[in-house]
């Protein structure tokens, strides 16, 4: 059992914190809004609005917040986690942020006596609830080994992919693949519906062949039902695709499909659909087809 400070009790963070609690750890949850803290307390955890209070005495500090500035905001400065954490504590950042920011903050963490791991996740809200997330981890191999119990409480596929920042690079690639797959599925469903095909039957058989994917399994029915309740919001995928396109440009790599889908996602966010699930890409594809 470890004492864990869990910062960020959102769609993903709250169920992850609950799973860490269920695994027998002492977990204190931190969030900007009292409602999320209250929900975690109701689940049996501790809660506070103070990062400094939460990290003091914690053996493991977890961050799961939306973007690079959010991570920097909770770990840096006089009230941040680095200033109040105990020397030797593990810092695990489950957030999806820019690889260069992750590498810089990891260096800051080491200077503060902490052991940093960037460990973005894939699997969405269902994976977070069921504790079966895929976790791509950057950082020192010894620190990765020390964090195994934490990772195993929230994930199923857990892989050390390299030094600090590598986890975020792999997550960017993950988000590129997912976005392009969602767009392809959106186009396929619009195509099938235009010909009056039994779409339930069509997705069933497509899922059993080479076209099958977790994206089809998890997002196909949502498109058929026009149910875009968020498991992973378009606004967050928009942020992630910005990371992809920026990092690809810096590396001199072309991502033509990724760039096109990034523009479609940005269009949805700009018109006010950022709170929808990323399967909401179907809406714009449908509309562009005059449906």
> pLDDT by residue (tens digit) across 192-226?
999 999 999 999 999 999 999 999 999 999 999 99
pLDDT category of residue 106 using cuts at 50, 70 and 90: very high
Per-residue CA distances from 186 to 40, 203, 237, 284 (Å): 36, 12, 16, 9
Q: pLDDT for 231-261, tens place per residue?
A: 899 999 999 999 999 999 999 999 999 999 9
pLDDT category of residue 273 using cuts at 50, 70 and 90: very high
64 has a pLDDT exceeding 90: yes
**All residues at 6 or more sequence positions from 179 whose CB lies less than 8 Å from its CB, including other chains:** 237, 240, 241, 258, 261, 262, 265, 278, 281
1 has a pLDDT exceeding 90: no
Phi-psi region at 44: left, alpha or beta (left = phi > 0; alpha = psi -120 to 50)? left
What percentage of residues in the chain have a pLDDT greater than 90? 98
Per the prediction, the chain carries an average pLDDT of 97
Q: What is the bridge-based pairing of β-strands 155-162 and 115-118?
A: unpaired
Domain boundaries defined on the chain: 3-162, 170-288
Active site residues: 171
Fold of the domain built from segment(s) 3-162: Rossmann fold (3.40.50)
The pLDDT of residue 163 is 97
- Average pLDDT of the residues in 80-98: 97
pTM summary value: 0.91
- Helix, coil or strand: residue 118: strand
C-alpha dihedral sign at 17, 21, 27, 29: positive
C-alpha dihedral, 170 to 229 to 29 to 111, nearest 10°: 20
The pLDDT of residue 231 is 86
Of 205, 231, 208, the C-alpha closest to 219 is 231
Of 42, 47, 38, 33, the C-alpha closest to 4 is 47
Separation between Cα atoms, residue 260 and residue 262, nearest integer Å: 5
> Which CATH code of 3.30.2130.10, 1.10.3720.10, 1.10.1040.10, 3.90.420.10 fits the domain covering 170-288?
1.10.1040.10
């Amino acid at each position: 059992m470890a004492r864990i400070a869990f910062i960020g009790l959102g769609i993903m963070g709250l169920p992850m914190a609950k799973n860490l609690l269920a695994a027998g750890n002492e977990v204190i949850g931190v969030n900007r809004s009292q409602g999320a803290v209250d929900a975690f307390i109701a689940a049996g955890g501790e809660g506070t609005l103070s990062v400094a209070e939460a990290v003091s005495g914690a053996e493991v500090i977890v961050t799961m917040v939306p973007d690079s500035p959010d991570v920097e905001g909770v770990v840096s400065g006089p009230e941040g986690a680095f200033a109040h954490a105990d020397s030797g504590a593990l810092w695990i950042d489950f957030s999806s942020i820019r690889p260069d920011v992750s590498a810089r903050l990891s260096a800051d963490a080491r200077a503060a006596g902490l052991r940093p791991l960037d460990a973005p996740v894939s699997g969405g809200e269902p994976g977070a609830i069921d504790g079966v997330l895929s976790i791509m981890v950057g950082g020192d191999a010894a620190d990765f080994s020390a964090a195994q119990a934490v990772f195993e409480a929230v994930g199923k596929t857990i892989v050390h992919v390299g030094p600090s920042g590598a986890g975020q690079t792999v997550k960017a690639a993950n988000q590129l693949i997912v976005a392009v797959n969602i767009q392809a599925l959106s186009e396929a469903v619009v195509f099938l519906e235009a010909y009056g095909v039994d779409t339930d039957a069509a997705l069933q058989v497509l899922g059993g062949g080479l076209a099958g994917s977790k994206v089809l399994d998890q997002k196909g029915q949502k498109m058929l039902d026009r149910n875009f309740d968020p498991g992973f919001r378009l606004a967050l995928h928009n942020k992630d695709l910005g990371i992809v396109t920026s990092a690809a440009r810096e590396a001199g790599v072309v991502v033509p499909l990724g760039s096109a889908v990034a523009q479609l996602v940005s269009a949805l966010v700009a018109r006010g659909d950022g709170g929808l699930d990323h399967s909401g890409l179907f809406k714009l594809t449908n509309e562009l087809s005059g449906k």
